[in-house]
Amino acid sequence: MAIAGEALMSDDLEGALNAMALNMIPNLWKTKSFNSLKPLGSYIKDVNSRIEFFADWLKNGIPRIFMINKFFFAHGFLTGARQNYARKFKIPIDTMDLDYKVIADENAPKPEDGVFVCGMYMEGCKWDTGTEVLAESDPKVLFTMCPMVWFIPIKAVDKNAVNVFKMPLYLTMDRKGILATTGHSTNFVDYVNLPTEKSTAHWTKRGAALLCALND
């Protein structure tokens, strides 16, 4: 309507129009949107894929595998996984944590407790299916898909911290964020402990991390 002269062209609308012309996400949308560094075309595809994921959930019930990169608030999803276990076994939620196990067979039956999670990318490393530990990235390969991971609710005191790397999980490739009113970072989600034969310092120098979304 503003383009047709039927409404006032505000600064926000003009900014949105210019952003669309440059294949960028308008700032007007970002205030209500999930975090994304994608160009506008890829962003729209991402929006549609998220809608399809939740529409399938509503139609067919709780999925066997959860795509963590489809959630607007991934922190709440992981909190829910802990809460379900805490309520089931009547354990105080503040004593709960999550442990992690890579599941090679994506056709594995749904776990009794915890959730199967996919939809993460690995940067600075890859998963070695033979040795079942983190390994160096292949030459000229910047990102690989992370295999399915079983997020296992446990008591914090029972969590394994031996021969694992606490790999940070981010929503986007922009490895920074601000503290939201919920008390969570707007970009950092959690640490995912994955088996390794190398030291934490080794993977830290590699910049190894998990990402829910790439920039393209």
CA distances, 85 to each of 76, 114, 117, 153 (Å): 14, 7, 16, 6
Asked whether residue 180 carries a pLDDT value surpassing 80, the answer given is no
Residue 37 has which token pair? 């560094």
154 located within any domain: yes
150 located within any domain: yes
195 located within any domain: yes
Q: Average pLDDT of 65-80?
A: 94
Phi/psi-derived region of residue 165, left when phi > 0, alpha when psi is between -120 and 50, beta in every other case: beta
Total domains in the fold of the chain:
1
133 located within any domain: yes
24 located within any domain: no
Report the CATH number that the domain containing residue 110 is assigned in CATH.
Answer: 3.10.490.20
pLDDT of amino acid 141: 94
Q: Average pLDDT of 189-211?
A: 96
Burial class (CB in 10 A: 0-12, 13-18, 19+), 58: exposed
Domain range for residue 123? 62-211
Residue 111, SS3 per DSSP: coil
18 located within any domain: no
- Prediction pTM value: 0.90
- Whole-angstrom Cα distance, residue 113 to residue 4? 56
127 located within any domain: yes
Q: Tell me: the pLDDT tens digits for 96-145? A: 999 999 999 989 999 999 999 999 999 999 999 999 999 999 999 999 99
Asked whether residue 80 carries a pLDDT value surpassing 80, the answer given is yes
pLDDT of amino acid 186: 86
89 located within any domain: yes
